[in-house]
Amino acid sequence: MLKNHLKIAWRNLRKNKGYALINIGGLALGFAITLLIGLWIYDELSFNKQHSSYDRIAEVLQNVDFDGTIETWESQNYPLGDALRTEYGTYFDEVVMSTYPRRSIFKHGETVIGELGSFMEEGAPAILDLKMIHGNKDSFGDPNSIFLSATLANSIFGAENPLGKSLIMNNETSLKVAGVYEDMPRSSNFRDEAGYLGSLDLLMIGAGPNKKGWLNNWLMVFVKMAENVTVEQASAAIKNVKLNNAGEKELQSNPQLFLHPLSKWRLYSHFENGVSIGGRITYVWLFGFIGAFVLFLASINFINLSTARSQKRAEEVGIRKVIGSSKLQLVRQFFMESLMVVLLAFFLALLLAQLALPLFNEITQKDVGILWGHPMLWVMFLVSVGLVGILSGLYPAFYLSSFLPIKVLKGLPKSAAGGNVRFRQALVILQFVVSVTLVIGTLVIYQQIQHVKNRSLGYEVEGLVMVPMQTDEVKKNYEAFRNTLLESNAFLEIARSESPVTNTWYSDFDFKWKGKDPGFRDNIFRGLVNHEFGETIQWSILKGRDFSKAYATDSTAVILNEAAVKYMGFEDPIGQIIEAPWGEELTVIGVVEDMITQSLYESNKQTMFRFDQYQQANLMNIKLNPNTDVTEAMNQLSAVYKQFNPNTPMEYTFAEDQYAEKFAFEARVGKLSGIFAGLAIFISCLGLLGLASFVAERRTKEIGIRKVLGASVSMLWQMLSKEFIGLVLLGSALAIPLASYMMQQWLNDYEYRTEISWSLYGYAALGAVLVTLLTVSVQTLRAAQNNPIKSLRTE
């Protein structure tokens, strides 16, 4: 009997190949999307979870108050570590300060390799949960030795055991390899920071008071909490450590310390006014909803399409009953059939998902795979196959099997089979609410990206290459290197700066100037640059002049941006004297047009460009001649560089790439939501197709009569299509306020944002209508063209 049921089901599918394809294909697509989204969410939620002390690791953050705006900073100062250890030691097993990841160059024999890593304090192995391959965790912390990741050790030393071998860092420091650890997993926040691990003590040798003081925030502080200590307890305890130690006078910004636990780093790291207001978790929810909706749409569609064809099966039910089938046997048959089809769809979905994984990973920048062995997959398998199979089998199983055979065999009134039209219409409306919402969302994201792309940068990002000066060799040879480069017409100008122009993060506070309100707590971003910087990035001076070698006094000169002039309240900024917190008197010589040196989405920040009199700026900015081929210029650049700096490999970034990074995340979300919107539209079209064929079948007789009475094909097409257009317009009308609300919420996260235009809603609705017409016409035209004699004689 089972065999017979499966046989019938299979033959039914083969007989209606087109129908089977869209029905199974649509469901499989829905399953596949949900599966991929599920993998993405799973990956996000399990981030960092591999850490053996997951619940006890935290980072020390501080809320600082700049005249009413509370900012949350990660960076801390050097004395904080000792203060936490000595005063609050009972709360913590480990307190470890770490530098931000920095690039160092390692040389061993002929091999020279640059890599990102951090300099940390003794407890680092516990904080990072290091898994040693060679050496002992406890040996970490000696300033004369270094730990390497497996990958780095392998690329420097190859197959040989590196333990005890020595290498030279940044051409000056000789270090012994004391340990090799497994690479940090991809799903770890520490991954970027841990190519190598050096001792922080090494950096502190010969460090000036500036680096050691309470005012300079340049480190991160991680802790491993003692057992039985909660985040709240420890946070409350350390709240005022800085105030107590450094004195309020020195720290006007009222820094309040707190712990941010490891479990929240990935998803809850967006702070506003000193409180965590989420972060990536928003996207986890968003994609979770989308996934659930897509699965819902696809399942509903599947049920819709399957049941629309039940009419055809009614006769079969009658025959089977007459020749001896019981109701139960019919119920079982229909369930078996729908389970088989859903099962097919699920396996197809696994295949689809597997095929789409590389693309998916590329877009999401992840490394997920289908977790074949994970119980979740099979729970999801059972739940979704069971649910969809049972739901789609429910209608034919119980409704059809309850038919009296006499009724169906004598010819069923058409309206009796196929269920409620209103229900189907409601489903189509719902589908279009979801699809149009997604489409509008995608359009708004793209509009916002275009909006920020069109924002005036205030400098020229094209053809700007940035090369870090990582060793003394490069610094020493800078002038000669620059002069040699300028001999070639491939390069227009070369300048030094402390930060890349695309990412100026450093700031100073506690300046004094004429007219400053004594209670005003200032914070001014800092650009440390030399004479040629303005020329290189092509900024525009609005008032006064650029730095110039002609003026010896320019060593203490500063140029303010427009935002800074406003911030400091200068009527006439040129010639104003500003007293720096370290005592120097700085003279304003010019005002430069606002430049986007930080986020594209925020307003311009007050920035002071200071002349780099002590040559601290360690980044070379090189402007290529736009008339030369980039590859050619880069070849020249690396040749000249090598000639001057044989011991330091050249690393470079294009400013354009850094600029693109600023909206990379938004672009990624846009791309994903675009794909989801496309698929949602596609699945909705399947639903439409199902409804259209259902309606066409239902109205066969009416169409036949109308044709006999003289209706033309185009009139019939209009009549049949109008109904659907109405549904879709209604769906769009519901989607517009929903999407507009959601997207306005999204945009509100951006200080610099686009206005959603009404025409955008119009385009979305128009697109939905066009797609609908196209889809529905496939069915309506066929129905309208049928020979009326055929349909009328079937009665």
Q: List interacting residues with another protein (CB under 8 A).
A: 1, 4, 7-8, 11-12, 15, 315-316, 318-326, 329, 404-406, 409-410
User: In the complex, what is the shortest distance from the CB of residue 449 to another protein, in angstroms, rounded to a whole number?
Assistant: 53
Q: Is the dihedral of CA 661, 665, 666, 672 positive or negative?
A: positive
Minimum CB separation of residue 293 from another protein in Å reads 35
Nearer to another protein, 323 or 550 (CB): 323
Nearer to another protein, 17 or 410 (CB): 410
Q: Please tell me what DSSP assigns to residue 457.
A: -
CB of 795 to another protein, least distance (A): 13
- DSSP code for 397: I
Residue written as token pair 């929240």? 264
Q: How far is the CB of 3 from another protein (least distance, A)?
A: 10
* Angle at the Cα of 401 from the Cα atoms of 417 and 414, rounded to 5 degrees: 15
DSSP calls for 289-350: HHHHHHHHHHHHHHHHHHHHTHHHHHHHHHHHHHTT--HHHHHHHHHHHHHHHHHHHHHHHH
Q: Tell me the backbone φ, ψ of residue 269, rounded to 5 degrees.
A: -110, 25
Nearest CB to another protein, comparing residues 415 and 745: 415
Measured from the CB atom, the residue of 326 and 613 that comes closer to another protein is: 326
Least Å from the CB of residue 331 to another protein: 14
Q: How far is the CB of 698 from another protein (least distance, A)?
A: 21
Residue 259's CB: how many other CB atoms inside 10 A?
27
Nearer to another protein (CB atom), residue 1 or residue 205 = 1
Beta bridge partners of residue 115, listed in sequence order: 104
Closest approach of another protein to the CB of residue 9, in Å: 9
Distance CA 644, CA 483 (A): 12
Minimal distance, residue 330 CB to another protein, in Å: 10
Minimum distance of another protein from residue 396's CB (angstroms)? 15
Q: Which two tokens stand for residue 45?
A: 């939620």
* Least Å from the CB of residue 27 to another protein: 22
The answer to whether the beta carbons of residues 771 and 681 sit under 8 Å apart is: yes
Q: Sign of dihedral through CA atoms 155, 157, 163, 166?
A: negative
Q: Give yes or no for a contact between 128 and 52, defined as CB atoms under 8 angstroms apart.
A: no
How far, in Å, are 80, 278, 461 from residue 86 at the CA level? 10, 33, 48
Dmax (CA) of the chain = 109
**Residue nearer to another protein on the CB measure, 12 or 488:** 12
- How far apart are the C-alpha atoms of 776 and 773, rounded to whole Å? 5
Q: Is 37 in contact with 288 (CB distance < 8 Å)?
A: yes
Looking at 609-663, list the stretches that DSSP marks H as alpha helix, in order from N- to C-terminal side: 630-644, 655-661
Provide the minimum distance between the beta carbon of 324 and another protein in the complex, in angstroms, as a whole number: 4
Please, which residue, 319 or 359, has the CB nearer to another protein? 319
State the nearest-atom distance from the C-beta of 394 to another protein, in Å: 22
Cβ nearer to another protein, comparing 316 with 702:
316
Q: How many helices (H) and strands (E) does the chain have?
A: 27, 26
- DSSP annotation of 76 reads B
Cβ closest to another protein, residue 324 vs residue 375: 324
Which one, 233 or 325, has the nearer CB to another protein?
325
- Nearest CB to another protein, comparing residues 4 and 785: 4
294-297 contacts at long range (C-beta below 8 A, 24 or more positions apart): 294/30, 294/33, 294/34, 294/37, 294/676, 294/679, 294/680, 294/683, 295/30, 295/31, 295/33, 295/34, 295/384, 297/30, 297/430, 297/431, 297/434, 297/680, 297/683, 297/684, 297/687
Nearer to another protein, 8 or 204 (CB): 8
